[in-house]
Amino acid sequence: MYNVTKKEQLNPDICLVEFEAPDIAKAARAGQFIILRIDEKGERFPLTIYDYDVKKGTVCVVCQAVGVSTKKLCALNKNDFILDVAGPLGHAVSTEKIGNIICIGGGVGTAEAYPITKAYKESGNEVKVIIGARNKSLLICEKELKSLGVELYVATDDGSYGRKGFVTDVLKELLSKQKYDLIYAIGPIVMMKAVSQAAKPYNIKTLVSLNSIMIDGTGMCGGCRIKYNNESKFTCVDGPEFDASLIDFDELIKRQGRFSDKEKLALHEYECRLGFKH
């Protein structure tokens, strides 16, 4: 059992949860993720490690409530418990000095871009960050990213804050002005695909952190399989970071929706149960 030590609502759908997990905090590196199960009836689901504190023995995640498991996590409060946490899983980001880097985060991916940006800054890289959301009220982690000392650009779809448009509009502008050594994007799959396409003419290495459906997280079930450079790869053990130019994004988008009927039904039943309780 993992004791929740902090819970903060970042926007109506996204919360930050910190919990005690000293062994995971000791081993965690930027870019890795954990797999959680909230209660006995819960499904296993992956979340990126947003931050960790070895001294306090805590791990922090930022979670968008989209279905039953994520809603259950976001409903927890300080001193509640999470049943199981496995991790850290997946490969960490490189800690080499690369040069000029653009990090991009969209939606809840903005929180996932935070540890990546921090790791690249700590390795002595020049990092510019572009973050995006549908509107101002949904934007998260702006202050935290700014505190890393990066040049930060904000785009909102409706123009309610920062520049009106998509993160790719800002990206294209930056790419037209200066040479970069690496682009790293994390967010909705369609956004990562668009970033990859925008970067292609400039021939800049573009990495993305994939959020394909995972079940066991150990390379055994095949749930997170993607087509990569015409071969099969498992996001949980081979990733989650991949070279965007080699990913078959269209297949990934199709696979991501394969349980949508069951997910809708599970959410409906969960919300009915909650309604019944209240």
Ligand X SMILES: Cc1cc2nc3c(=O)[nH]c(=O)nc-3n(C[C@H](O)[C@H](O)[C@H](O)COP(=O)(O)OP(=O)(O)OC[C@H]3O[C@@H](n4cnc5c(N)ncnc54)[C@H](O)[C@@H]3O)c2cc1C
Using CB under 6 A, list all residues that contact ligand X.
Answer: 33, 43, 45-48, 61-64, 66-70, 108, 112, 211-214, 240, 256, 260, 263, 267
Judged by beta carbon distances under 5 to 8 A according to partner kind, the member of ligand X, ligand FES, none in contact with residue 234 is ligand FES
Residue among 221, 253, 265, 274 that touches ligand FES (CB under 6 A): 221
- Count of residues of this chain found to bind ligand FES when the rule CB under 6 A is applied: 12
Q: Give 216's contacts (C-beta < 8 A, 6+ positions apart).
A: 44, 223, 236
Dihedral angle, C-alpha 133, 62, 264, 277, nearest 10 °? -120
- Residue 198: enclosing H or E segment and its boundaries? helix 189-199
Q: Does 258 bind ligand FES (CB under 6 A)?
A: no
Dihedral angle, C-alpha 22, 118, 12, 214, nearest 10 °? -60
Q: Does 43 bind ligand FES (CB under 6 A)?
A: no
Q: How far is the CB of 94 from ligand X (least distance, A)?
A: 17
Q: What angle do CA 125, 127, 132 make, to 5 degrees?
A: 155
Judged by beta carbon distances under 5 to 8 A according to partner kind, the member of ligand FES, ligand X, none in contact with residue 221 is ligand FES
Judged by beta carbon distances under 5 to 8 A according to partner kind, the member of ligand X, ligand FES, none in contact with residue 103 is none
Cα 147 to Cα 208: distance, rounded to the nearest angstrom: 23
Judged by beta carbon distances under 5 to 8 A according to partner kind, the member of ligand FES, ligand X, none in contact with residue 222 is ligand FES
Q: Does 219 bind ligand FES (CB under 6 A)?
A: yes
Q: Does 34 bind ligand FES (CB under 6 A)?
A: no
CB 35 within 8 A of CB 87: yes
In whole angstroms, what separates CA 2 from the centre of its chain?
21
**Residue 165 or 219: which CB sits closer to ligand FES?**
219
Amino acid at 10: L
Residues near ligand FES (CB under 6 A) are 214-217, 219-224, 234, 236
